[in-house]
Structure 1
Amino acid sequence: MQSLATRAPAKINLTLHVLGRREADGYHALESLVAFAGVGDHLTLEPGPDLDLAISGPTAGPAGPNADNLVLRAARHLAERVPGLRTGRFRLLKRLPVAAGIGGGSSDAAAALRLLAELNGLALDHPTLVESARATGADVPVCLDPRARMMRGAGETIGSPLDLSPLPAVLINPGVPVPTAPVFKALGLAPGDTLAGADHPEVAQGLGPNGLLSLIGPARNDLEAPALTLAPVIGEALASLRAQGGCRLARMSGSGATVFGIFAHRSQAALGARAIARAMPGWWVEPTLLR
């Protein structure tokens, strides 16, 4: 059988409200509107007798050892649940920055599950596939079918796809890895604590860019302030976006350090990306569309 291939797009948290920290399991309860970018990693699967992974690409080094990669973890979780699961050799082309708040590893893991589902005739909503995604990581379920939607709880509750208009955007990572755990620790919530703040807006189907921006503009990313204490350069990246013509909203994604700016037009996003890349050649800067 020929090899199978899929994209693993960057996951962008357009909003991220922390409701509190659950007493039962210690996880933080979230509400987040998630979209996916046109940039991402690329994964192929060559069917064969042995499960294996090869990683290449500009960010392959920071991705860590192959044996601990989420691609293999996801495959092993599925193999534990599906007797006789057909697997093979994965090849991951790693382009996204690591520990960056854009779900690169989670999207890679979800891509692996999609390819294994295709190889083994499993539907994307098959309970075993969803269970394996949850066992792999909190952000993996929302990445299984990468379309804009709400994500709630600790990532286990996924809303229906939202038919939102594509948003011209620029993504920036200033080159500082920000692991998730220290950011949540800096938030300072003990189990059972809640976090004050306005409720997350209800997102309707089919919103155009103007309607969506007016809705999510007053929303927030509750992890932005604690992330700034750990990586102040995030503030510089946000300021660079806000200084560009046509930038309508700039916010951090996930737990950082990647930030995004939403622009009125694709041409303005491209111009803004070029200007920022010239000024900060060490930053990862990508114009894209969010969907």
Structure 2
Amino acid sequence: MTRQERAFGSAPGATGRRSCRGCEYRRVAAPRSLPREVYVLSVVAFFVAVGFGILAPAIPDFAREFGVGRTAAALVVSAFAFMRLVSAFGSGGLVDRFGERWVMAIGIGIVATTSAAAGLSQNYPTLLILRGLGGVGSAMFTVSAAALLIRLVSNQQRGQASGIFAGGFLTGGIIGPVFGGPLTQISLRLPFFVYAATLALAGLVAAVALRNTALSTAPVERRGLRGSGVGTALRDPAYRAAVGANLAVGWAVFGVRFATIPLFVTEGLQLGAAWTGVGLGV
């Protein structure tokens, strides 16, 4: 052992803490690479967002085909978002009880089924109800994907993992409307079926690539900790800031972007539905 090593109280290759006159030195572990499942979830989010982006230009115009006003047409978009909000709380309990993989698969299946059925709608109430049910499935997918993402990575990796997941979703949201606009020129019903197909593809990717993920089917271990209620969480400034930011984003995306832009382009600017896709994709 050298004099320098004796001063630090440790020999080469030793592990643990080293002290020098009351100061502590800790070995910093090398950062681990992200699990493969993070990239799988990003791909799944991409296909989900592509399908939603393809459908978005058609929803308000399709609702108007039933002779309803602009407010009622926008309500179809709001019904999807509202049911996402209402069912998000229950979706967390389903994840704890049945595991992320099953909740994700069922959620994607619900959105795919209701979207295909909505494309066959013969009246406005049917369309409104089916889009609302689709919001329930969408919440199940979103909550289960977020829960799985958190449990797959360490605290230090959550920012990077969340960025990759969000990147897949945002990329799909940009690409989808570019294809959705021209599809509405063919038929306002066609985007509903294409959306269902992209969801089926997303579900297939999740089922195959996540089937060996241990955490995906294991309920969360409580370890004797008492969960915090909504009231407790709302007393946390960071939590309130996150809720406020998500509310603002949801209002801008669902309340303004997807509800009003298609109607503004087709009725206000008197342009074809293909331009709606361009406007949403920018």
Output the TM-score relative to the length of structure 2: 0.24
Output the TM-score relative to the length of structure 1: 0.24
Query: Which structure has the highest strand share of the two?
Result: 1
